[in-house]
Chain A
Amino acid sequence: MVSLSNHEVGYANLGTTSSFDRLRTRSTDSQDQNMSFLSDTAISFRREIGPTLRSWYYIIFGLVQPLLYLALFVPLLGAIPGPEGTSPLQWFVPGMVVMLVLFTTVSCGWALTEELMSGSFERFLATPMSRPAIMVGRALKELAPLLVQALILIVVATPFGLVLHPLHMLLGLAMLMLFGVGVASLSYALAIASKHDGSLFYLVSHSVALPMMLLGGVLLPMTNAPAWLYIASRFNPLTYLVEAERALFMGEIFVMPVLYGALVAVVVAVAGLAVGVSQVRKASL
Chain B
Amino acid sequence: MIHARDLTRTFKTKAGPVEAVRGLSLDVAEGELVAFLGPNGAGKSTSVRMLTTLLPLTSGSASVSGHDVVADPAGVRRQIGYVGQGTGSGPYHRVRDELVTQGKAQRMTASAARKRADDLLGMLELDGLADRPCASLSGGQKRRLDVALGLMHTPPILFLDEPSTGLDPHSRANLWDHITSLRKASGMTIFLTTHYLDEADTMAERVMVMDNGIMIADDTPARLKADLAGDTIHVSVLCEDQSGNAAEIAQNLPDARETRVDGRDVAVTLRDGEAVLPEFIRRLHQSGIEAISARVVRPTLDDVFLGLTGRSLREAAA
Give A residues with C-beta under 8 Å from B.
39-40, 43, 46-47, 50-51, 114-115, 117-120, 122-129, 281-282, 284-285
Q: Is A128 touching B106 in the complex (CB atoms < 8 A)?
A: yes
Question: Per-residue CB proximity of B73-88 to A under 8 Å, as 1/0?
Answer: 0100110101011111
Please, which residue of chain A has its CB at the minimum distance from the CB of B106?
Answer: A127
Write the nearest CB–CB distance from A196 to chain B, whole angstroms: 11
Please, which residue of chain B has its CB at the minimum distance from the CB of A52?
Answer: B92
Please pick, from A47, A114, A115, A285, the residue contacting B54 in the complex, using a CB distance under 8 A: A285
17 A-B pairs (CB sep. < 8 Å): A51-B133, A119-B84, A119-B86, A120-B87, A120-B89, A120-B90, A122-B86, A123-B102, A124-B105, A126-B52, A126-B54, A126-B80, A126-B82, A126-B84, A127-B105, A128-B106, A129-B105
In the bound assembly, the distance between CA atoms of A114 and B92 in angstroms comes to 11
- Interface size range of chain B in the complex: 20 to 34
Give B residues with C-beta under 8 Å from A.
11, 49, 52-56, 74, 77-78, 80, 82, 84-94, 97-98, 101-102, 104-107, 133, 149
Q: Is B93 touching A128 in the complex (CB atoms < 8 A)?
A: no
* Apart from A47-B98, A50-B93, 13 more pairs, CB < 8 Å: A40-B105, A50-B97, A118-B87, A119-B87, A120-B87, A120-B88, A122-B84, A126-B53, A127-B77, A128-B77, A128-B78, A282-B56, A284-B49
Given contacts A284-B11, A284-B55, contact A128 B86 (CB under 8 A): no
Q: Is B92 touching A51 in the complex (CB atoms < 8 A)?
A: yes
In the bound assembly, the distance between CA atoms of A114 and B91 in angstroms comes to 10
Give the 7 A-B CB pairs with smallest separation, nearest first.
Answer: A119-B86, A126-B82, A51-B92, A123-B88, A127-B105, A128-B74, A128-B77
In the bound assembly, the distance between CA atoms of A67 and B307 in angstroms comes to 72
Q: Which of A124, A125, A281 has the most CB of B within 10 A?
A: A125
Write the nearest CB–CB distance from A34 to chain B, whole angstroms: 15
Please pick, from A40, A43, A114, A123, the residue contacting B82 in the complex, using a CB distance under 8 A: A123
Chain A residues lying within 8 Å of B94, measured Cβ to Cβ, are: 50
Chain B residues lying within 8 Å of A119, measured Cβ to Cβ, are: 84-88
Chain A residues lying within 8 Å of B56, measured Cβ to Cβ, are: 281-282
Please, which residue of chain A has its CB at the minimum distance from the CB of B97?
Answer: A50
Given contacts A126-B53, A128-B106, A284-B11, contact A115 B78 (CB under 8 A): no
Please pick, from A50, A123, A284, the residue contacting B84 in the complex, using a CB distance under 8 A: A123
Question: What is the predominant secondary structure among interface residues of chain A facing chain B?
Answer: helix
Please, which residue of chain A has its CB at the minimum distance from the CB of B20?
Answer: A284
Chain A residues lying within 8 Å of B104, measured Cβ to Cβ, are: 39, 43
In the bound assembly, the distance between CA atoms of A39 and B107 in angstroms comes to 10
Chain A residues lying within 8 Å of B101, measured Cβ to Cβ, are: 43, 46-47
Please pick, from A43, A115, A284, the residue contacting B90 in the complex, using a CB distance under 8 A: A115
Chain B residues lying within 8 Å of A281, measured Cβ to Cβ, are: 56
Please pick, from A46, A127, A284, A285, the residue contacting B102 in the complex, using a CB distance under 8 A: A127
Q: Which of A119, A127, A285 has the most CB of B within 10 A?
A: A127
Given contacts A120-B89, A284-B55, contact A128 B84 (CB under 8 A): no
Chain B residues lying within 8 Å of A285, measured Cβ to Cβ, are: 54
In the bound assembly, the distance between CA atoms of A284 and B9 in angstroms comes to 11
Write the nearest CB–CB distance from B37 to chain A, whole angstroms: 22
Chain B residues lying within 8 Å of A43, measured Cβ to Cβ, are: 101, 104-105
Chain B residues lying within 8 Å of A129, measured Cβ to Cβ, are: 105
In the bound assembly, the distance between CA atoms of A40 and B104 in angstroms comes to 8
Write the nearest CB–CB distance from A21 to chain B, whole angstroms: 19
Write the nearest CB–CB distance from B298 to chain A, whole angstroms: 37
In the bound assembly, the distance between CA atoms of A114 and B87 in angstroms comes to 11
Write the nearest CB–CB distance from B14 to chain A, whole angstroms: 12
Please, which residue of chain B has its CB at the minimum distance from the CB of A129?
Answer: B105
Write the nearest CB–CB distance from B64 to chain A, whole angstroms: 11
Write the nearest CB–CB distance from B251 to chain A, whole angstroms: 51
Q: Is B54 touching A122 in the complex (CB atoms < 8 A)?
A: yes
Q: Is B90 touching A128 in the complex (CB atoms < 8 A)?
A: no
Chain A residues lying within 8 Å of B102, measured Cβ to Cβ, are: 123, 127
Write the nearest CB–CB distance from A191 to chain B, whole angstroms: 15
Q: Which of B82, B89, B94, B104 has the most CB of A within 10 A?
A: B104
Chain B residues lying within 8 Å of A50, measured Cβ to Cβ, are: 93-94, 97
Write the nearest CB–CB distance from A60 to chain B, whole angstroms: 18
